[in-house]
Structure 1
Amino acid sequence: MTRLGRVGAETGAGWRSFVRRRTAVFFTFFFPVILIVIFGALVRTDPTGEGLFTEPPAYYVPGYLAVVVLFTPLSRLGSEVARHRDGNRFEKLATTPLSRDEWLLAQTVVNAVIIGLASLLILGLVIALTGATIAFSPLLVPYVLVGVVCFCGVGAMLGSYTDSQDGAVAASNAIGLPLLFLSETFIALDQLPAWFEPFVNLSPLTYFARGVRAVTYPDAGTPAVAGLDPALANLGILAALAVVTFALGARSIPRTD
């Protein structure tokens, strides 16, 4: 079987495994919907112009998308790798032609399809519930795909280095929640202490948020990067980080248990 055939077969198996778990399917799409309803429809902009959620609704589109681009790969890949370790499935995998990077690529494709569908749902709800005016750009697709690759690599590392499936889920939440709110998604950089800015720049999600905001809400005035267009520059940075995290994630997956 060719490399493409192996990845395709594993992708099909991963997709069937996902759709069979109805609870996982439900919460994958339900969680971001709840956030949009709470933050977008119930929590309104502060009329004094101070505090949180003072920006126009379109400003927070990257944050809503980040919910699935960040949490779905971290939790799904982390728990999937941990589950494979608990069941000694990587030991069996080592006897097949399927390599670790092919296995991770197949899981990433499954996550990309799931998150792509969830992103369409999110964009539709944001427009319907908040009245946000969003500029649709072809660059939005690669941003979502590259973000998925990046955080699938991180999720694979979490599943490889934690001691159990519960530990992987706990670690994904412990890492994901701070990143979600401290990566220029829902909280603007000028609302954070000046000394915290270098830490914001260490987060891959920051470049996702800045780039998505640049392509969906040009009026936000996303700053250029080294004189380059912010939409393309942030995508380039995110892509470089995705290559690194995917390689580290594939390398961390055990050959045997």
Structure 2
Amino acid sequence: MSRVTRLRAAVGADWRSFTRRRTAVFFTFFFPVILIVIFGALVRTDPTGGGLFAEPPAYYVPGYLAVVVLFTPLSRLGSEVARHREGNRFEKLATTPLSRGEWLLAQTLVNAIIIGLASLLILVLVVVLTGADIAYSPWLVPYVLVGTVCFCGIGALLGSYTDSQDGAVAASNAIGLPLLFLSETFIALEQLPGWFGPLVNLSPLTYFARGVRAATYPESATGTAGVAGTGIDPVLGNLLVLAALAVVTFAVGAWSIPRTD
């Protein structure tokens, strides 16, 4: 059996598993929609005011996209790996030709499809409900894909080292919520304490947010996080940093998946 055949079979099985869980399908797409309705359509932004949501609607597009790019891989991969451990499925997987890296890649491909569809829905709703004037950049595709790979690797880590599915979900929320609001998504760096600024650069989501914002809302583009002042195009520079982090997290995530239970 070739690698492509193995991956195709694993992707098909995981996709069918996802679509059978109607609650998971519903909330994967419903949660970001609720955020857009609350923060974008009800609270609205006030570009002439101050405080939270004081920027134009287009500024917050990376934040809305980050909801699915961050939480979907963390929760799905974390709980999936934990569920396989509880059911001794990795012991059975070890008897098949499918390697741990291939298994994680198949899971990542399914997540990429899910997140791609959710991201498209989010972009449509942001424009319709908030009137955001965004640039429809082709850079969005690699950003969503690379971001998915990065956080799938982190999700695999969470599932490998937590003691249960509930623990994996709790860990994904405990890590995801701070990252969502402290990675230049909904809260601008200027609104955070000065001492916290360098810590923002430690979050992979920061590079996703800065790059997506530079691509969809060029008026706010700044230098690449961590190498500002080098003259590197912020869209390309942030993507390169995110890609490097994605390679590391994916490799470590694949390595952390147990061979047996």
TM-score normalised per structure 2: 0.97
2:161 corresponds to: 161
The equivalences for 1:82-161 within 5 A come to 82-161=82-161
1:239 corresponds to: 243
The separation in 2 between residues aligned to 1:140 and 1:75, in whole angstroms, is 22
- Render the CA deviation track for 1:39-92: whole Å, top value 9, x for unaligned: 000112246521000000000000000000000000000000000000000000
Say if 1:223 and 1:230, in contact at 8 Å, map to a contact too.
yes
**RMSD value over aligned CA atoms?**
0.8
The equivalences for 1:59-70 within 5 A come to 59-70=59-70
1:213 corresponds to: 213
Moved more, 46-55 or 113-122: 46-55
Say if 1:81 and 1:160, in contact at 8 Å, map to a contact too.
yes
- Render the CA deviation track for 1:136-167: whole Å, top value 9, x for unaligned: 11111000000000000000000000000000
The separation in 2 between residues aligned to 1:45 and 1:204, in whole angstroms, is 26
Q: 2:160 corresponds to which letter in structure 1?
A: S
- Render the CA deviation track for 1:111-152: whole Å, top value 9, x for unaligned: 000000000000000000000011011111000000000000
Moved more, 212-221 or 182-191: 212-221
Q: 2:7 corresponds to which letter in structure 1?
A: V
The separation in 1 between residues aligned to 2:12 and 2:117, in whole angstroms, is 17
**Distance change >3 Å, CA 60–CA 78, structure 1 → 2:** same
2:234 corresponds to: 230
Identity between Structure 1 and Structure 2 (%) = 83
Say if 1:150 and 1:245, in contact at 8 Å, map to a contact too.
yes
Q: 1:80 corresponds to which letter in structure 2?
A: E
In the alignment, structure 1 residue 189 sits paired with structure 2 residue 189: yes
The separation in 2 between residues aligned to 1:21 and 1:158, in whole angstroms, is 22
Say if 2:46 and 2:56, in contact at 8 Å, map to a contact too.
no
Say if 1:82 and 1:160, in contact at 8 Å, map to a contact too.
yes
The separation in 1 between residues aligned to 2:47 and 2:19, in whole angstroms, is 43
- Render the CA deviation track for 1:181-217: whole Å, top value 9, x for unaligned: 0000000000000100111000000000000000000
The separation in 1 between residues aligned to 2:47 and 2:106, in whole angstroms, is 47
What secondary structure sits across from 2:129 in the alignment? helix
Unaligned 5+ residue runs, structure 2? none
Q: 2:240 corresponds to which letter in structure 1?
A: G
Residue-pair matches, total:
257
Q: 1:171 corresponds to which letter in structure 2?
A: A
1:22 corresponds to: 22
Q: 2:140 corresponds to which letter in structure 1?
A: L
What secondary structure sits across from 1:228 in the alignment? coil
Unaligned 5+ residue runs, structure 1? none
Say if 2:44 and 2:130, in contact at 8 Å, map to a contact too.
no
The separation in 2 between residues aligned to 1:256 and 1:83, in whole angstroms, is 13
